[in-house]
Chain A
Amino acid sequence: MNEMFRDKIDISLTVNGEPVEGRVPAGQHLVDFLRGALGLTGAHASCEHGVCGACTIKVNGEAVRGCLMLAAQADGADIWTVEGLSDQGTIKDLQDAFVARNALQCGFCTPGMLVAIDELLGKEGVPSRAEIREHLSGNYCRCTGYEAIVDAVETVARARAQKGAA
């Protein structure tokens, strides 16, 4: 076996606000560390090579593909998954809108989708439907056909803007 793969690397990071220490194989993808070592259930792997977005998580404030980043690279990082964002309550309106609009069917794409949307909604202004579609085009959904996802995002963006203005 290649020496590189035998190596274990010590990392310390925070995941969903909790400090975490780990000794990870150099070849371990971050998403596998989260669902394997930490036992999380939100981030999934689907394409395993960066095109589908199912593994999207928040790393240091940015939406990142958990299948393209190694766990070893996450040393010192601040990571949030859908579980943490749920507990925090910051995406409650978005989650409610997803359920109300039926922006999910099987739900496998949903956690990654929500993290990608969270990033979009963190930006200034209310995105147009075209901008929503553009931003989320790296998050595949094979079930819903997207229409309801765009509806849900638009609803939340408008509601948040209104609340901000009020």
Chain B
Amino acid sequence: MKFEEPTSDNLFDRAMVIGKATPRIDGPLKVSGQAPYAYERHDVVEDQLVGYPLGATIGRGRITAMDTEAARNAPGVAAVVTTLDIDPLEISSFNNARLFGGNEVRHYHQAIAVVVAETLEQARHAAEMIDVTYEEEEGNFDLEKAWQNGLGTDEADAETGNVDEAFASAEVTLDETYRTPDQSHAMMEPHSSIADWSDGENMTVWTSSQMIAWARKSLAETFDIDEDRIRVESPFVGGGFGAKLFLRSDAVLAALGSRAAQRPVKLTLPRPFIFNNATHRSATIQRIRLAAGQDGRLTAIEHEAAAHEFEGGGNEENPTNLTKLFYAGANRRVKHHDVVLDLPESSSMRAPGEASGLMAFEIAMDEMAEKLGMDPVEFRILNDTQVDPMNPDVPFSDRNFVDCLKVGAERFGWSDRNRKPGDTRDGLWMVGHGMAGAYRGAPTLTSGARVRLERGHLTVETDMTDIGTGSYTILAQTGAEMLGLPLEQVTVKLGDSRFPASSGSGGQFGAASSTAGVYAACVALREEIARRLETDDVRFEDGNVIAGNKAIPLEEISADAEITAEDTMEFGDFQDDLEIGTFAAHFVEVGVHAATAEVRVRRMLAVCDAGRILNPVTARSQVIGGMTMALGAALSEQLAVDKPRGYFVNHDLAGYEVAVHADVPDQEVIFLDTLDPAISPLKAKGVGELGICGVAAAIANATYNATGIRVRDYPITLDKMLDRLPETF
């Protein structure tokens, strides 16, 4: 089925199940410890051995020798495969850093061996016995240096109007530089796989992946075998946030170990290995210039940024992307530099580009509002746009950013905010208020599903994944709605390469795309039922199909044999002529300790515009989770780079500080009641990435409002404010 024009009125506008607060259907499995995550799938295959990886301890160079004799002879060891034992594996079209093979070391903790043994302890111990000799080479690990060299060079990526003239003649201008650090997804489930490639022929991988079809294709390319010989399963994923979009070394090492030992092998990447072995969000440096008239209207915007990537590409962190679209302004220039460094591969992390871009841009907007003497909410409202400002012929399909701002200001009590920095005290705490806008695109990807009706029970099968987002639940809701069944009569099976390929989970495209895929399959099923009843006028209600004036129970229709249908939703080109996005306004109150400069967030409010909300329970959770991740980004998350040696130093969960319970205050989310007919038949856009966008800047702005100290270098830690605190406290 092809989605070729915006949806008109349809059954979702009279929905019984979609849009209703529905507890996640996978909840009972998860709260009782029965959800099978990759590493604990003890039953999928017998005789599992355990693999343990070894990582390179240099940032760049080559391996001249590896002594594995002790390891091979250690008790319980079934196989040792080193990077010198095999030719360099192909780099799949989804990867940039090679996952294994050859003597070249291109980043710290690159996998260089896997030891397979009867037990984890034996494998771990034997891995430590491998003696590696390196020839270290100088590497380039310094983004700051590259920025200084690259600033102002190269053509703009996009430009409209006359930016230089607009700045020269502007009444008010701003020119500041902002920095965001490297960040880690830090999902709770480490990358883990069980691989069975015992016969060197057919490969089955039980893994933790956001994208089944991509994982399968990557495995095929990496090992140069036919996709048909590979099966991938990932029914439960313990968080991903982009980390599990692409094939990682856990699956590769497990497969190599399995082939060598001729038995299935399970392998989890040790946590301290993940930060440098796998991917992360690149640091960014961003110079933002704004020009406006005294009336507050932006006349020019310039955004130049740099992030780093592995040789060959992969970086998705382009902070200037959103700058093309978010606010009005006739003159505009954006330029992004992807700087090749020898650090581990940077890749997608939740809202790549928007997350870091808004961390900077929404501080700049706050600074500009202050220069103009305007309320930052008013300033944003004034500069709203309903069209792509660089291509005014392209409208936003449905943009209600101004409503987000207005509703948020009202609900937060913005009019009662602290107005002058440093003016409000609560004992030893300086209290401040800040806000920010947020924008995240709403892409769609082709998505397929199969549905089977048997004795009135519907089973949905698609290779879509549920990475915690709630896919199981919203796909069940979609099936229930389409067939007029209660939710209990729908089973959803996900994450198996034997099922039709879906969009997968990522880029905020999963919910919109995969529900549309299930919709398409259900339309086909409904048509098949109608065909059998020899009519084309059917409705599905209360477990019945209603043809003419006859209600026939679905149970009866599918009593003898199951009725199946399969289809794929493809999204038409008309979407290219529109800007389809999601929007939010964030409001934050912080307290900053007058003596220590400790920042404590006291309350947070988000107002979101994301079309129809398929399930308010899971959507709210997505946004609050995003806000919390952004709180970490604002105040504590940073991968520290050892610049001479080229690696992330704080590579464990103690050194990489994510927000914990005690860091997080009361949080509230409001969804505007909006519909976007241009996105899909369900008129629903994703929210998973919107929640992280803009929040960190709102915290930064509130911190400034509390103290009068402007920090433009994330995270906002005590040391960056301590020497500028007021004298008395």
Contacts and interface: CB of A to CB of B under 8 A. Distances in A.
B34 A145 contact: no
Nearest to A130: B662
A15 B124 CA distance: 26
The range of chain A's interface size is 35 or more
A107 B31 contact: yes
A46 B271 contact: yes
Contacts of B35: 41, 107
B293 to A, nearest CB: 40
Contact of A145 (B50, B120, B239, B667): B667
B121 interface: yes
B33 A43 contact: yes
B662 A108 contact: no
Contacts of A114: 31
B667 A147 contact: yes
A95 B32 CA distance: 8
B23 to A, nearest CB: 5
A161 to B, nearest CB: 21
B103 interface: no
Contact of B653 (A5, A36, A51): A51
A27 B24 contact: no
A107 B624 contact: no
B711 interface: no
Nearest to B660: A137
B271 A27 contact: no
Interface stretch (B462-470, B531-539, B678-686): B462-470
B661 A133 contact: yes
A43 B613 CA distance: 33
A136 interface: yes
B725 interface: no
B186 A106 contact: no
A107 B271 contact: no
Contacts of A52: 188, 653
B652 A47 contact: yes
A47 B654 contact: yes
A142 interface: yes
B74 A1 contact: yes
A159 interface: no
B233 to A, nearest CB: 16
Contact of B33 (A28, A36, A42): A42
Given A104-B30, A108-B37, A49 B652 contact: yes
A99 B23 contact: yes
A148 B621 contact: yes
Given A48-B270, A105-B468, A83 B34 contact: yes
B27 A109 contact: no
Interface string A50-64: 011010000000000
A82 interface: yes
A111 interface: yes
B668 to A, nearest CB: 9
A25 interface: yes
Contact of B661 (A42, A48, A100, A150): A150
Contacts of A40: 33, 40
Given A46-B188, A133-B662, A99 B31 contact: yes
B653 A147 contact: no
A31 to B, nearest CB: 11
A152 B497 CA distance: 36
A145 B664 contact: yes
B189 interface: yes
Interface string B152-177: 00000000000000000000000000
Interface string B452-475: 000000000000000111100000
B625 A105 contact: yes
A137 B30 contact: no
Contacts of B658: 140, 142
A144 B34 CA distance: 19
A141 B467 CA distance: 13
A136 B660 CA distance: 8
A32 interface: yes
A99 B27 contact: yes
A81 B33 contact: yes
A121 to B, nearest CB: 15
A65 interface: no
Contact of A137 (B32, B125, B661): B661
Nearest to A129: B666
A108 B189 contact: yes
B395 interface: no
Interface in B4-47: 23-24, 26-37, 39-40, 42
B238 A107 contact: yes
A95 B120 contact: no
B189 A46 contact: yes
B661 A99 contact: no
B557 interface: no
Interface in B185-199: 185-190
A67 to B, nearest CB: 10
Contact of A6 (B31, B75, B653): B75
A4 to B, nearest CB: 10
B121 A145 contact: no
B617 interface: yes
Interface string A17-46: 000000001011000100110011111111
Contacts of A35: 39-40, 42
Contacts of B36: 41
A132 B666 CA distance: 13
Interface string B379-412: 0000000000000000000000000000000000
Contacts of A5: 121, 125
A86 interface: yes
Interface string B471-501: 0000000000000000000000000000000
Q: A86, A142, A150: which has the most chain B beta carbons within 10 Å?
A: A142
A44 B75 CA distance: 26
A122 to B, nearest CB: 18
Contact of A41 (B33, B271, B629): B33
B618 interface: yes
Contacts of A108: 37, 187-189, 238-239
B627 interface: yes
Given A51-B654, A141-B188, A145-B664, A105 B37 contact: no
B237 interface: yes
B32 A147 contact: no
B236 interface: yes
Contacts of A86: 31-33
Nearest 8 Cβ contacts at the A-B interface = A42-B33, A106-B468, A107-B30, A108-B238, A105-B468, A145-B628, A99-B27, A47-B653
5 contacts: A27-B125, A45-B190, A105-B468, A107-B26, A144-B625
Interface of B: 23-24, 26-37, 39-40, 42, 50, 74-75, 119-122, 124-125, 129, 185-190, 236-239, 241, 268, 270-272, 467-470, 617-618, 620-622, 624-629, 652-654, 658, 660-664, 666-667
Interface of A: 1-2, 5-6, 25, 27-28, 32, 35-36, 39-49, 51-52, 54, 81-83, 86, 95, 98-100, 102, 104-111, 114, 132-134, 136-150
Given A114-B31, A144-B625, 20 more contacts: A6-B75, A25-B122, A27-B125, A28-B119, A42-B33, A49-B652, A83-B33, A99-B28, A102-B24, A104-B468, A107-B30, A107-B31, A108-B187, A111-B33, A133-B661, A136-B661, A142-B658, A144-B624, A145-B625, A147-B667
